[in-house]
Amino acid sequence: MADTVTTKTLFNSPRKLVVNITNLSDGTGESNVVKVDKSAFTGPNGSEPTKLVIEKIVYDVSSMRVLLTWDQTSDETIAVLQGDGTIDWYKSAKHSGNVAANTGGTGDILLTTATQSVGDGYNITLYLRKKD
């Protein structure tokens, strides 16, 4: 068996992207699964964006732990999620958001679960800005 997962694009414009990802675990979990494939989207200049910037994450994670990372030459941690809450980088200084600092790699967003059991799950919504 495998976890039951979904990835839905809720909003997609030349500059903004909202993606919802869910999981209902059978206990096997996920490891470095691409949840947002940067190359699948078009940025402001009509081609693949050079970077994605996370402005906000709204999450509800049941019992397990979720690690979000940037797929870079050296993967970079975005956040470790447990419980429920909101991480809002847009309201931080200069509306900078969370963007990968390293170079290389794809710039995709990867997800790994830990400590999952049968019936655990998550519902995560990512609010992103596309940059050229």
pLDDT of residue 1: 65
**Across the 132 residues of the chain, what is the mean pLDDT of every consecutive 10-residue run?**
92 97 96 96 94 95 96 92 94 66 85 97 97 88
Write phi, then psi, for 2 (nearest 5 degrees).
Answer: -145, 160
pLDDT of residue 105: 86
- Non-local CB neighbours of 34 within 8 Å, separated by 6+ positions: 71, 108, 109, 110
CA–CA distance, 82 with 96 (Å, rounded to integer):
24
Residue in the block written with tokens 């839905």: 8
Distance of CA 6 to the CA centre of its chain: 13
pLDDT of residue 95: 55
